[in-house]
Amino acid sequence: MELHVGRPNIGSRELLHQLLDEILDSRVLTNNGPFVEILEGLVCDLTGAKHAIAVSNATRGLEIACRALNMEREVLVPSFTFVATPNALHWQRCRPVFVDTSPGKFTISPEEVERTLGMVRRVSGIVATHTFGQLCQVDKLQSISDAYNIPVVYDAAHCLGVPGVGTNGNAEVFSLHATKIANSFEGGVITTNDDDLAYTCRLMRNYGFTGYGETATYGINAKMSDVHAAMGVVSLSNLDDFIDWNKWVYGQYKMRLRDMIVDGEDGNYHYVVAMVDDAEGLAAHLHKRGVLVRRYFHPGCHNLIPYLGMYPSLSLPNTEELCRKVVCLPTGTSINEEDIERVCLEIEAYYG
Ligand code: T4K
């Protein structure tokens, strides 16, 4: 049997079936119905954010947040992230300017952000990823944001349930994709404490409508259906159990593989990250044996089309090192003790 990194956490089927019946009986299937509101309330409770705006996926959420904050032209972004992060900017006709990570971290380097701001003109914002549940250095980034008067949006796709996330920067964007710790099949949520920004994001996800036949801004369809929201509600109701399970899985790997496993105690344990000298060789060995580890994020975004070749002299040594070394191991509620034993035995066999 194949072992995966992104096998979805399911939660209570009974509750989901009950909610789906309610939705079908009510015939309110979408257009920001009651389950979308319930989901948004749960995310506010969880994160402490004043506003949560559910959207169709995190990529759209990033687009909307950046657009609502008037990001245009150059925007600073890490290269060590899922390609959705720069793509959201590119899709909004912004130019992603890739910045290196801090040594020993998975997140964008504030020092490199500042250095880049000194070299690149017309930067209108920063989009920084809290990678694998490891939060960015938010205080340093906030100081830079204040000093240069540019907004910061956090890509918090991996971070539901991570302490201290939801109210940083101008906005944070979570993913509820099937592969995330909590999921709504597909989905995302923007959180912010800024009333005006929340209002604009709400309008933008719904064509800019303020009322029947009235619009106040340009917008798009980024709504989450109530069926998706119901799955999100079920998933969030089970979030503590998912985190507990992940923590146990992480502990098992850590006990067995020790320093190979990156410390993850500050996060939600959703990604168990191994750092090895030759991620390529190890991943190939494991894939042949049905252990479908993932090399997130290899190659770095600056080496992916459409960004490849855009900055020929760009040097991102810390990013390159992570791309060479990081392997994400199978985790989540579908993984059990036997599976972990199998993964560890295969890794040990590879290293002889
Ligand atoms: N920002 C960051 C930092 C992100 O990591 C992501 C998404 C986003 C933004 C964008 O969020 P959304 O717009 O999607 O809300 C996966 C996910 O598809 C992607 O959502 C995620 N990041 C990324 C890190 O991982 P792939 O290409 O590796 O996905 P895939 O479909 O190959 O799935 C991985 C594994 O999970 C496979 O072995 C199969 C298994 N799987 C997957 C799905 C969808 C299942 O067993 N069942 C399923 O339903 O990108």
Residue 6 predicted with pLDDT over 90 = no
Among 179, 272, 294, 323, say which to mutate for ligand 1: greatest number of ligand atoms within 8 Å of CB: 179
| Model confidence pLDDT, tens digit, residues 223-234 | 999 999 999 999
Q: Which atom of ligand 1 is nearest to the CA of 6?
A: 36
180 CA distance to ligand 1 middle (Å)? 7
Instruction: Inform me whether the pLDDT recorded for 75 exceeds 90.
Output: yes
* pLDDT of res. 102: 98
CA of 177 to the centre of ligand 1 (A): 7
239-252 pLDDT, tens digit each: 999 999 999 999 99
> What distance in Å separates the CA atoms of residue 285 and residue 308, rounded to the nearest whole number?
28
* pLDDT tens digits, one per residue of 103-135: 999 999 999 999 999 999 999 999 999 999 999
Residue 50, token pair as written in the block = 């004043």
Q: What string of DSSP letters covers 44-70?
A: HHHH--SEEEEES-HHHHHHHHHHHTT
- What is the Cα–Cα distance from 328 to 338, expressed in whole angstroms? 18
How many whole angstroms from 143 Cα to the centroid of ligand 1? 32
What is the model's pLDDT at position 352? 83
Residues framing ligand 1 (Cβ under 6 A): 4-8, 57-59, 81-82, 84-85, 129, 155, 157-158, 175, 177-179, 188, 292, 294, 296
Residue 41 pLDDT > 90, yes or no? Answer: yes
Mutate to test the pocket of ligand 1, among 59, 60, 80, 82 (most ligand atoms within 8 A of CB): 82
Q: Whose CA is nearest to atom 25 of ligand 1?
A: 179
Q: How far apart are CA 183 and CA 262, in angstroms?
A: 25
Confidence of residue 3 (pLDDT cuts 50, 70, 90): very high
| pLDDT (average), residues 69-74 | 98
The enclosing H or E element of 3 equals strand 3-4
Burial class (CB in 10 A: 0-12, 13-18, 19+), 206: middle
Q: For ligand 1, atom 11, which residue shows the shortest CA distance?
A: 58
* pLDDT digits 0-9 by tens, 277-295: 999 999 999 999 999 999 9
What average pLDDT does the structure give for the chain?
97
Residues 6+ apart with CB under 8 A from 153: 62, 65, 66, 69, 71, 125, 126, 127, 128, 169, 170, 171, 172, 173
What is the percent of the chain with per-residue pLDDT over 70, rounded to a whole number? 100
Question: Residue whose CA is closest, atom 17 of ligand 1?
Answer: 179
Q: pLDDT digit string (tens) for 131-170?
A: 999 999 999 999 999 999 999 999 999 999 999 999 999 9
Please tell me whether residue 71 adopts helix, strand or coil conformation: coil
